[in-house]
Amino acid sequence: PHTGVATKLHARAVALRYADQSPHVLISIDTIGLPGDFSRKISDQLASEYQLQREQIVLCATHTHCGPDLVSELSNIFAVPLSEMEHANALAYRQRLGQSITQVVGTALESMQPMRLEYRVGQASFAANRRVLRDGRWAGFGVQADGPTDHSVPILSFRNMTGELKGVVFNYACHCTTLDGNYYQVHADWAGIAAEALEEASPSCTALCTIGCGADANPEPRGLAEHAVMHGKNLAKKIQNQLQLPGTV
């Protein structure tokens, strides 16, 4: 059980529509992953509330390991089975999260206005390949210095007709595992820290993080909350620097 809340967890959404076409929605959620039945329930709710079809919805988990369980197939991450009270609390949190997702999608749809979209690609360096190889065979988790990593940071930004930054979607291929199993507070890890830093720098902006193909990558260094803050703020700074440069429209 968690011992406190170090950072808030968010559900964020952006809605996109070209001309008179149907809108598409991207949703970023600070959680380790989304169970299939939960995703289907969310999709059904969005279809009922906003007439969105499944192909119009993208659900993304930032993969923080420091958030509540969603009563998923990830029961193997716990040292002991959940108690009845913990299970009930998880179900209550899951229901609340579903309501929050529906609410933020509604806000995104209602807030659509003409925007200028720009695409850029930056770089971040804290992801490290974690599949240690010895004699060509996997030998456990650690740092494989010569292992493949993707340090690119694709960035999609949204500015209104007066040039005000209203939104940004950024992607980095790395686990949100700066904090390990010895950390017992709720924490959004580097993805949440980066998003909040971008929003603090531009109060009218909503920042959404997605996680790329980072299954073989861990943040480095890792293990302390200070490391998560360092990675997140450094990433936000690199994104801010990119937003000052010309992008592809």
Tell me the percentage of the chain whose pLDDT exceeds 90.
Answer: 88
Going by C-alpha positions, the residue among 152, 140, 171 that lies closest to residue 58 is 171
Nearest-5° Cα angle at 32, 29 to 35: 85
Q: What are the pLDDT digits (tens) for 71-94?
A: 887 777 788 888 999 999 999 999
Task: Spell out a b/e string for 228-243, using b for 16 or more CB atoms within 10 Å of the CB, else e.
Answer: bbbbbbbbbebbbebb
Distances (CA, A) of 232 to 220, 227, 228: 12, 8, 6
Model pTM score: 0.94
Mean pLDDT of the 229-241 span: 98
Confidence of residue 241 (pLDDT cuts 50, 70, 90): very high
- 38 pLDDT more than 80: yes
The reported pLDDT for the residue numbered 104 is 98
Q: Which residues contact 129 (CB under 8 A, 6 or more apart)?
A: 143, 144, 145, 146, 147, 148, 149, 216, 217
Q: What are the pLDDT digits (tens) for 161-213?
A: 999 999 999 999 999 999 988 899 999 999 999 999 999 999 999 999 999 88
Q: What are the pLDDT digits (tens) for 130-166?
A: 999 999 899 999 999 999 999 999 999 999 999 999 9
The reported pLDDT for the residue numbered 128 is 97
The reported pLDDT for the residue numbered 72 is 81
